Every structure is written in structure tokens, then in C-alpha cells.
Amino acid sequence: DIQMTQSPSSLSASVGDRVTITCQASQAIKNYLNWYHQKPGKAPKALIYAASNLETGVPSRFSGSGSGTQFTFTISSLQPEDVGTYYCQQYDKHPLAFGGGTKVELK
Amino acid sequence: QVQLQESGPGLVKPSQTLSLMCTVSGASINNNAYYWSWIRQLPGKGLDYIGYVFYSGSTYYNPSLRSRLTLSLDTSKNQFSLKLTSVTAADTALYYCARDTISGSGSRYFDSWGQGVLVTVSS
């Protein structure tokens, strides 16, 4: 099975800060990588698919990059509504797998 | 827009069968562009992929659950379902149904989710 490792597991940042989260796959997964945001008490919401494509309606401050085993997710200017947990997810091979999550809090 | 809604008992006794239903509105499950999926989240933990059922009835089960899991769909009711047998406390989780959308370019992602249903396994 492919293992997805996210870092950091949590971070605290101020409004307007640039936030970067990394996701490493245990084997190469091309660009078959998605990013989700889960607000407390809510279901996850897709933000980025295929490593770098912005889901419809998602603000342009969110971006993703990478291929192979190393991926990066960036929030260019953190907003209060961005708090919550972010997950990466690979779909190269079954079983599909999520990273352990990165909890983002406001400083 | 598409909406998914899970339903089922919130409490199941150990060794019994957990049964959940997902009702889809705003889209037909009889469509080859989607995998109708289940994902669970253990308390305070991350997301675990359970599996999917396709419009044709074909399925994929996570090997970790395969021996206990059955996924199916009812196109006439636009619903799909999950049955997990011989449950233990380790199956206590928030269960989500989700639509896994396949694009022509080969990408796929969970673009719609239910709100989740908390299932507790306890006597």
C-alpha cells in the first residue's frame, strides 16, 4: 500500500501569512494527488485535484504543486476561514490513501 | 447541485452488522462518471478509505475490511449502501459517503460528501 506522510502535523500562523504543507508518498504517484480542507465538525471539501488544479469555486490563494513523491500545498495569504485540517490523498493505486492531516490554527 | 445524505443506526452492538445507506439527490448514481464511495474517520483521527460501488454494481473493497464488507447500490432509489459484519469497538467512527468523480484526463477526486454519520460500537 502507498503511505502518505504530511508535514507538519500542525501549525499556527497569522492572518495574511503564507502557509506551506508538504505531502510525501512512499512511492511515485505521478501527479495523482488531491488536497482537501476539513473544518471542525464538517465533511472534507476538495480544494486541489491532480496536484495543481483548483476545484471550481475555490479561492486562488490556494495552490498545489509537485509530482512523483513530493507535493506542496500553499495558502498565499491565510484567512480566518482557512482554519481546520488539510489532507492530501493519492489515487494512483488502490487502496486510495489519505495523509495524516495538517491542523492549521490562527496565531 | 448533488447532495449526499447518510442514514443508519448510531449504535451497533459488538459482533453485529453495521448497515448504512447513502441517498443521493441532484445526480443519478446510474452514471459511469462516478465511483460511489465510503470513507470513515476514527475519533480524532484521519480519513480511511473503505471502498466504492460503481453504477454497474462492481465494487472495490479496502483489503483491511474486505472479509467483512459489502457495498451495493439501488439505482431505482438512487441510493447506495454499506454493510460491515462482525463489528468491534475499532469500527467506531464517523462514516462518510462520497462521490468520487472521474474525469476524462484520468483525474479523480471526492467532489461531494455527505455530512457523515457517527456510528458507535458498544454493548
- Asked whether residue A51 carries a pLDDT value surpassing 90, the answer given is yes
Residues of chain B found within 8 Å of residue A99, distances taken between Cβ atoms? 46
Q: How much is the mean pLDDT over chain A?
A: 98
In tens, the pLDDT along A58-78 reads 999 999 999 999 999 999 999
Q: Residue B26 — pLDDT band, cuts 50, 70, 90?
A: very high
Q: Residue B58 — pLDDT band, cuts 50, 70, 90?
A: very high
Q: Which residues of B touch A (CB under 8 A)?
A: 46-49, 51, 60, 62-64, 96, 98, 105, 107-111, 113-116
- Average confidence (pLDDT) over A1-15: 98
Going by C-alpha positions, the residue among B99, B98, B77, B91 that lies closest to residue B120 is B91
Amino acid making up residue B90: A
Query: Which residue among A44, A50, A91 places its CB closest to the CB of B47?
Result: A44
Distance from C-alpha of B102 to C-alpha of B111, rounded to nearest angstrom: 10
Going by C-alpha positions, the residue among B40, B51, B49 that lies closest to residue B95 is B40
Distance from C-alpha of A84 to C-alpha of A40, rounded to nearest angstrom: 6
* Better-scored residue on pLDDT, B104 or A14: A14
Query: Which residue among B48, B110, B114 places its CB closest to the CB of A46?
Result: B110
Bridge partners, residue B70, by sequence: B83
Q: Residue B81 — pLDDT band, cuts 50, 70, 90?
A: very high
How much is the pLDDT for B106?
85
Report DSSP letters for B48-105, one per residue: EEEEEEETTS-EEE-TTTGGGEEEEEETTTTEEEEEE-S--GGG-EEEEEEEEEE-TT
CB contact under 8 A, B46 and A44: no
Distance from C-alpha of A69 to C-alpha of B73, rounded to nearest angstrom: 35
In tens, the pLDDT along A80-106 reads 999 999 999 999 999 999 999 999 999
How much is the pLDDT for A46?
98
CB B39 within 8 A of CB B53: no
Cell of A62: 490556494
